[in-house]
Structure 1
Amino acid sequence: MAPEKTPGGPARSGAGKRGNTSSIKHRGPIQLRRERKAEVANADRRLLDQRGPSDWVHTDPWRVLRIQSEFIEGFGALAEVPRAVTVFGSARTADGSTEYAHARELGAALARAGFAVITGGGPGIMEGANRGASENAGYSIGLGIELPFEQGLNEWVDLGINFRYFFARKTMFVKYSQAFICLPGGFGTLDELFEALTLVQTGKITRFPIVLFGSRFWGGLIEWIRTTLVEEGKISAADVDLLHVTDSVEEAVRVVVESQEADEAAALREAAAREEVDEW
């Protein structure tokens, strides 16, 4: 039987099935298929912690080269990734839970809509989203981070990269995604959520939908934003509209699809306007 072709990804046979771990390929920090145990490291702490001997004065300039290499590896590996959506959520969510099932449904629905699925590559919500995409012939991507307590990239990742630095990893999430969907999560999910909100609010990125999936979980945060941040003038009332809250997989995907269609229509209008100027 001829292998199936995934959207924007490599050919694969038996879509939706777990692959053979012997098929793992590595290129530096990049993983192609299957799981690799990340080296226990905390490069961010070594970079940011200035306590102790003054040898950091001599090592930090060299560390810049390692940081540069992470950006180069990430840009190179993800340059040809098709349109994609990043799904965030807790690594502590158990397989078999309702939230895991929702992540899996989201991954599947995004794949069917023609989007690659990007996650942090770990267990829990991330695994569920990667799994849903993989089971539906989608392109499943994991951007991991080397931490002492992480378990490495989950087995449903087709293209995986392990980062040492959070800031390099977060750049990749934003640069190669057309939208973020945030399921219930902890500090990491909140960090990624508010970074995206700040970038949209300040115009660093435009037409970038941010969907909060799970009204019960996110309701308290939305209420606090409305009653505290808006009422005290810390943000404008219009800023609340940057967030879309839903309990529906179909609605979450619809928000993403409509935003993508608006982007494409705007690009066509801009191209037509340039042609008119050139002809004039």
Structure 2
Amino acid sequence: MTQEQQSAASDDDFSPLGDTYHRGPVILRGQMIPSDNTTANLLKTEQDTDWLHMDPWRVLRIQSEFVDGFGALAELGPAVAIFGSARTPRTEAAYKAARRMGGLIAKKNIAVITGGGPGIMEAANRGAALAGGKSVGLGIELPHEQGLNQWVNLGMSFRYFFVRKTMFVKYSSGVIVCPGGFGTLDEMFELLTLVQTHKVANMPVVLFDKTYWQGLFDWLEGPVKEHGMISSIDPHLVTVTDDPDEAVEIATSAIDGH
């Protein structure tokens, strides 16, 4: 080997930053090399639990919720979601209508999916369960949540709203929205946005109780449209009705016509 070749080889072997340390796919050199190692950290005792509240651990929890949700619902079959207020008393007409709608859907051998709580959700689950159908409740962890209602025969509770919403959209082929508050409006507007922007396949969306929803549509077609914030609402995007039977027929039309 010539002196020039020896010099080149020496340059190739030279590492100006010192040794190389591999931590998984990450390469660390010089001052970046840690004093600990991954296995030792895993086996170490008497360490604090701050890691339980850090974002990387949250990502794993979120992932596990998706895995559990997909696993539980993948073989559910065709389904319709029914949204509505948790505050609706059992004596109200809306409760009785939701119970009827749940029963009619179940008799078509279609699953009913709700948020699993009381009020409208309980009514829809009750109707589906008493009709011998699949009564699904997708609950959410809330400070004052009472848990899933007694009429759910397939239930899950979620930590994260966005995971729960994904399950509603992914496994429902139609939606009925009964009178409700912020939670119901949130679910309705997110779904309409996804349908209108073609992020999901076009699915029938029904709003039950014309009187309740009329003010909202007057506002949308009035100030919101007049300010140029939206175009005219596509009449095919949503149907408003006072008839529980019609609501079910429309909400299940994508399944029946498949």
TM-score range, shorter chain: 0.7 to 0.9
Aligned counterpart, 1:81:
76
Q: Secondary structure at the match of 1:68?
A: helix
- The separation in 1 between residues aligned to 2:243 and 2:220, in whole angstroms, is 22
Q: Which amino acid aligns with 1:71?
A: F
The residue aligned with 1:182 is 177
Which of 1 and 2 has higher RCO (CA within 8 Å, sep 6+)?
A: 1
> Secondary structure of 1:242's match?
coil
CA contact (8 A) 2:204 2:253 kept: no
SS at match of 2:172: coil
Change (3 A) 1:173 1:98: same
Which residues of structure 1 form unaligned runs of 5+? 1-54, 265-280
1:63 aligns with: 58
* Local SS of the residue matching 2:54: helix
**Which of the numbers 149, 157, 160 marks the counterpart of 2:144?**
149
Check whether the contact 2:51–2:57 (CA below 8 A) recurs between aligned residues: no
Alpha-carbon shift at residue 230 of structure 1 (Å): 2.7
Indicate conservation of the 8 Å contact 2:84/2:177, yes or no: yes
Residue 204 of structure 1 corresponds to 199
1:246 is matched with which residue?
Answer: 241
Q: Paired residue for 1:10?
A: none
Cross-structure match for 1:90: 85
Give 5+ residue unaligned stretches, structure 2: 1-49
Identity among equivalent positions (%) equals: 59
| Aligned amino acid, residue 210 of structure 1 | V
- The two structures have a TM-score, normalised by structure 1, of 0.71
1:127-138 counterparts in 2 under 5 A?
A: 127-138=122-133
Shift of 1:235: 1.9
Alignment pair present for 1:114 and 2:109? yes
Contact kept? 2:176, 2:207, Cα under 8 Å:
yes
Q: Deviations 1:60-118 (Å, cap 9, x if unpaired)?
A: 11110001000000000000001000001011111122111111011011111221000
Label 1:242 to 1:90 Cα distance change in 2 as closer, same or farther (>3 A): same
In the TM superposition, structure 1's runs of 4+ consecutive aligned residues that sit over 6 Å from their partners are 55-58
Deviations along 1:110-158, one digit per CA (max 9) or x if unpaired, are 1112210000000110000000001111100000001111110000000
Q: Distance in 2 between matches of 1:260 and 1:79?
A: 16
The code of the aligned residue for 1:86 comes to: A
Which residue is equivalent to 1:162?
157
Contact 2:79 2:174 (C-alpha < 8 Å) held by counterparts: yes
Under a length normalisation based on structure 2, what TM-score does the superposition of the two structures give?
A: 0.77
Q: Distance in 1 between matches of 2:95 and 2:255?
A: 26
Q: Does the CA-based 8 Å contact 2:174-2:252 persist in structure 1?
A: no
1:139 pairs with one of 121, 134, 141: 134
**Structure 1 residue 162, shift from structure 2 partner:** 0.5
Q: Secondary structure at the match of 1:92?
A: coil
Cα displacement (A) at 1:57: 11
Report the Cα distance in structure 2 between the residues aligned to 1:250 and 1:57, rounded to whole angstroms.
49
Q: Which has the larger radius of gyration?
A: 2
- Structure 1, 181-190 or 253-262: larger mean CA deviation: 253-262
Q: Is the 8 A contact 2:173 2:252 kept in 1?
A: no
Deviation at 1:226, TM superposition (A): 1.3
Shift of 1:210: 1.0
Q: Write the distance in 1 (CA, Å) between the matches of 2:201 and 2:57.
A: 35
Alignment of 1:255-266 (within 5 A): 255-262=250-257, 264=258
- Shift of residue 236, structure 1, vs aligned partner: 1.9
Matched letter for residue 135 of structure 1: L
Aligned residue pairs, count: 209
CA RMSD of superposed structures (Å): 1.6
1:124 aligns with 2:119: yes
Q: Which amino acid aligns with 1:257?
A: T
